[in-house]
């Protein structure tokens, strides 16, 4: 019975992935950034591939929507790869969060070629981490004005007006407690 459940789940996952437009389902990503807005189950995503950045919106109850596709040159892709490689192992696989605030405002950086969530991803909730500024600014600078990464601005108001208590734990530990 368990084997049958695994087969059914795998088939559903394959079929669900097949529904995504090729730009969203791509398996050659350099890095993926997700900006969750605290308004429920939706996010803006920047999927960086060797030839383009695809910006799309994840919705909780409707199909994902491609918002923009920005071509990038080989040199730009290499620059992004270099900035990604500067993010050390000490930062990867961590979740930083303010223990006094959680409204769903979060930035996620994923390093898998498919954009899948792995344990080496980075998540920052409800505050700003300057160590990721270079990557965020670089990808944002290549995005259309309307679709720039605005996470820093979103969390600026959260960092005022309450007692900030930033904690950092591993991704595995964080999600084991949920």
Q: How would you write the pLDDT of the chain (178 residues) with one tens digit per residue? A: 444 333 333 333 433 443 445 556 667 899 999 999 866 678 899 999 999 999 998 876 677 889 999 999 999 999 999 999 999 889 999 999 988 887 888 999 999 988 888 899 999 998 889 999 999 999 999 999 999 999 998 888 766 666 778 999 999 999 886 5
Q: What's the whole-model pTM score?
A: 0.82
Which residues does 171 contact at the CB level (< 8 Å), separation at least 6? 93, 94, 95, 119, 120, 121, 123
CB contact at 8 A, 171 and 119: yes
**Rounded Cα gap, residues 176 and 170, in angstroms:** 10
Has residue 78 been placed in a domain?
A: yes
- Say which residue the tokens 């605030």 belong to: 101
In this predicted structure, what is the pLDDT of residue 45? 93
Has residue 17 been placed in a domain?
A: no
Has residue 14 been placed in a domain?
A: no
Token couple for 20: 């995504």
**Rounded Cα gap, residues 47 and 149, in angstroms:** 12
3-class SS of residue 160: coil
Query: For residue 120, what are the domain limits?
Result: 26-176
3-class SS of residue 47: strand
In this predicted structure, what is the pLDDT of residue 11? 34
Has residue 15 been placed in a domain?
A: no
Has residue 2 been placed in a domain?
A: no
**Rounded Cα gap, residues 22 and 27, in angstroms:** 9
Has residue 20 been placed in a domain?
A: no
In this predicted structure, what is the pLDDT of residue 67? 92
In this predicted structure, what is the pLDDT of residue 76? 97
Number of structural domains in the chain? 1
In this predicted structure, what is the pLDDT of residue 8? 36
In this predicted structure, what is the pLDDT of residue 51? 95
Has residue 34 been placed in a domain?
A: yes
Has residue 3 been placed in a domain?
A: no
In this predicted structure, what is the pLDDT of residue 107? 95
Backbone phi and psi for residue 144, each to the nearest 5 degrees, phi listed first? -60, 150
**Rounded Cα gap, residues 157 and 103, in angstroms:** 13
DSSP string, 88-144: -TTTTTEEEEETT--SSEEEEEE-STT----TT-EEEESS--GGGHHHHHHHHHTS-
């Amino acid at each position: 019975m368990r084997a049958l459940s695994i087969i059914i789940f795998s088939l559903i996952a394959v079929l669900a992935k097949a529904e995504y437009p090729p730009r969203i389902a791509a398996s050659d990503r350099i890095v993926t950034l997700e900006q969750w807005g605290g308004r429920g189950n939706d996010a803006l995503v920047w999927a960086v591939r060797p030839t383009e950045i695809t910006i799309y919106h994840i919705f909780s109850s409707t199909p994902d929507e491609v918002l923009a596709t920005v071509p990038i040159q080989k040199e730009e892709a290499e620059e992004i790869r270099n900035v990604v490689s500067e993010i050390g192992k000490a930062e990867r696989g961590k979740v930083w969060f303010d223990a006094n605030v959680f409204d769903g405002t979060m930035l996620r950086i994923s390093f898998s070629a498919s954009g899948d969530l792995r344990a080496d991803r980075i998540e920052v909730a409800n505050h700003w981490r300057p160590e990721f500024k270079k990557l965020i600014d670089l990808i944002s600078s290549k995005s259309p004005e309307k679709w720039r990464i605005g996470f820093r601005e979103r969390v600026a108001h959260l960092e005022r007006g309450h007692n900030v208590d930033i904690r950092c734990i591993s991704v595995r530990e964080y999600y084991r407690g949920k």
